[in-house]
Structure 1
Amino acid sequence: MLKKIGKTYHFRRAVPRGLRDSLGQTEFSISLKTQNRRTARSRAVVIYAEIDRVLRSGDDVKHKVDALARRLREGAISGEDFKKGLLTEFDAADQESQEALLNYLNEITAASALHVNRDLAELASGWRFMLDWSRGQARTEANALERALRIVSQARPVVSEQPQDRVESLTLKEAIGAFYAGTEREYADKHSARHAQDVSFRLLSELLGNDRKIREVTGSISIDMIERLRGVPKYHGKNGKNWPLEDVIASYEGEGDYETISEKTVKNHVGCWSRLWNYHLKREAVDRNIWQGHDFDTKRTRLVVRDWSDENLDKLMGKKWTFRGISRSTFAHIVGIAAYSGMRLEEICRLRPTDIAEVDGVLCFRIREHTEPEPWSPKTEAGSRFVPVHPMLKRKDFHLLERIKNSAKGGHDYIFGDLKPDGPRSCRGYLFSREFSKFKTSAEIPRNTRFHSFRHSVSTRLQNANATIRPIWIDAIMGHETAVDGRKRSVGETNYTHQIGIKNLRVTIETVRYPAAFDICRLFGD
């Protein structure tokens, strides 16, 4: 439908076969007089609809003239009745249909398209009668396509003269296109404002979907979308890559804390969406503006991630993992390790069989930089560490040690071999993070409680354990920098056994406890 000729977009549409001879062309080709693709598409939609309407009106005229001519040819009506019938049809038709009637009469008189005798004086006189009568009554020199182009060029929507009970609902894509077409003059010299509008609409399309009917978007959906908007990373869309927004959020949520867009930015985006809805509210394409009346705390800059509360742990246990791309055992083991070690998601997903071994008689996870089978390093220098395996993870009915043993025996590179690098940053935990986010949402767990909240929960439980647990031991477990001589320094895995002692770390990790209802063996869902 669109073709770019030089720098300008043109509308193209094939002419129906039955009209090609009379029109003398095989396609409609109209300059849309713009270099902007979005504006061109919105104009093309209007022209397409206008052509359809004109062609339909032309077909109606042809059927009526055919019927009159057939009756004239059969002798059922006189030439005078034929002229009166034409006049009646002409008088009742709108301007486009009148022009179609005149053009068709001219065509059949010249070419005998209806097989009417060329010498039939009544038909010729009827044509001359109609042509003379129509002078001053209709602008025969301006055809429907030219009028359609003028309408679109002025960026005015085509409004039906017939009253309608309810305007047909538009998709979001159509609504945005119509908004751009209708406000082109308003934003002609406001390039920065238009750019901001583009960014906001792009986010709206990613969150809502281009094919969503705007009339069907309810107030509750708008509340949910604003909450999702608050989770958008601060630098989303600024690196030139076009990853889906939901995938980007899932990738960041899996790794941990990250800076989100400010509340002021959220408010500005919602303001843009509100203008879109107001535009279509005036045109009765929506019933109300769902983006009005929301509260924004512009002093808040980021989402505060919470620990796993007992209530949310119950919700987690009460929901069955159903995503087929990741097994239930992988789900159970990853969640269990996170809950009883405080390790980051990517650290867990990168575990190799050789990364679980005894150190001074204590079975430990070893988080460290490696180059095989693919290069990877912990998030920080302090991230290289030993984390003793919690007794809950050693339970026979949890099957984690069995999985590690089988992975080593089978020569697998990773313990969780069903996970592959994916997403914006090629994380092995990307797919799990994305699906876990959907999983917890379906379990009605709030957005500020996410997978990374297990790390917060472990840290909180360690700090609240008892006075004998020293802060440096907690930092060593969590992979945090610790204060040494008044300065932040990394503990480093080589100093564990010398400065801290692996047994002290075992004592530290064993203080992590959860309510009895949080039984990680139930995560298998059997």
Structure 2
Amino acid sequence: MGFPFLVRRGARFYFRVRIPVDLREPFGRLEVWRSLKTADHKKARTLGKLEAAKAEITFEKMRNRELTRDQLRKIAEEYLHSTLEYCEGHREGGFLPRTHDEKEGKLLAYGDLADRYKGALSDLDVQETRARGLKRAGELVDSVLKERGLTLPKDSEEYAILARELLKRALEVCTVEASRIMGDYSNDYDRSRLYRQQEAAEEKQAGLLLSEVIQAYVKDHLTCKKWTPKTEQENTSILAVFLELIGDRDITTITHQDLMSFRDTLVKLPANPKKGRAKEGKPLKEVLEMGLPPMSLTTVRKYLIRIASFFKWAKLHKYVTTNEAEGLTIKEKKKVKASAARDTYDSEDIQRLFRALEYAPNKPERFWIPLISLYSGARLNEICQLHLEDVQDIDGVPCFRIEEEGSKKVKTVAGKRVVPVHPVLIELGFMRYVQMLREKGAKRLWENLKLKRDGYGQDFGKWYQRFNRRYITSHKKKVFHSFRHTVATAMKQSGVLETVAAEVLGHENSNMTYSLYGKGYYPRPLLEALLKLDYGVDIGELREKANTGLNYRPRK
């Protein structure tokens, strides 16, 4: 997936969005740029999604002229604090007047500026001279709006409100700076930090903007490494959709009824509402009007579960006092057994698999990985991430060692295990393949597979999906994971002990005596269980393919 809103300049990433045609005139430009203040691409992606959602909200509010008085006041407050912090940082950085005459000149300049702002404010508060006051304040207002990537029509009431709020804060800047230049830090701002205390008190009472809480939520989960890259991408995408649909507002004002209205809109959205050529770059309001097929209820449930988790976290960390998302999720109409979620491959499917597999020396993984899963029940990524060192002889039995170390991951703690290499794989020449790689100095079993967001198996999984539908079966419930079901079913029907089968497949053992006190099985009993995997299919043709592939030598 691309990230068209991200641009790198030097070491830093920037958010860039094209301004809709109908808003370009008031903006006076084609694009909005904003620094994401990070050189980390992963963090920039996350922040960029939220900025994109906030931009859509801003565009919509501009069309409807919906910047509230509180939002305008907050813009003015931010101007006050950032300006005074900048001035103080300038002094701390050594940028000082060279002489007392220069110091006096700065004092006079602040005095003149204060008189100008007072005059503009005075004009602004009289109907007869209001236009003149707006003109005198225009440079200040326009510079602040431009810095934040915003614009307001100059004849709007919002522009006048912001002008008045900014003039008051600008006068405060002049007063505080004049005091500081004289070496007096006993002014109200520096002595008691009155404005910052008031701001903190208002935020505590009123709450933060939804976008600010989302950023805190994402930061907490990334800092504590609670999310995988896949989970991070899913969550930030879902929260960006939520932010755009519900609006960037005080989180404490979001009610359960608001969330139910959001749910009513969500069920009308298509799956991946921001992906695809037709949808990319469009606000969700336009996507809704495209009449595309709506997302499935399963996807809706995923959205609602993630949003409920966000509000649960927000309550835990005191951003809200109640979890308004409780009871928001849609319950499944019917439940199915876990074993029914995927079907097993039958002997005819396996026969078609054997006929379709080809041994291409430059793509050996396409031959071996399906067979390894069929004769071990190992998960796709467990096989795709294997290193040469993970194929070991243990107690005289060739084994796969499935571990979590470095870039290798396992699904659960029980996933760390040893699985014997099935004799069928050895007969086909798998150990010979391993030896050839060792002689070549390779480190991994499948050098073509690269580590991606979902592990080493991401690209292979896509290939197998196409291969499976073309050559093996069109049955929707028969996928790569069906190999695990096939192995589990075969062992169950052959009378293999559940504790043995669980260890082969990497499942938790529910037996307290064995799981708490007993150590893992030695390879020999596990091999005996795997020997019962008899699919009643001849491997003669496979053996010939493997021999041809292993004996292939490229021309020099």
- Shared fold per TM-score greater than 0.5: no
TM-score (norm 1): 0.43
Which protein has the bigger helix share? 2
TM-score (norm 2): 0.41
Larger radius of gyration: 1
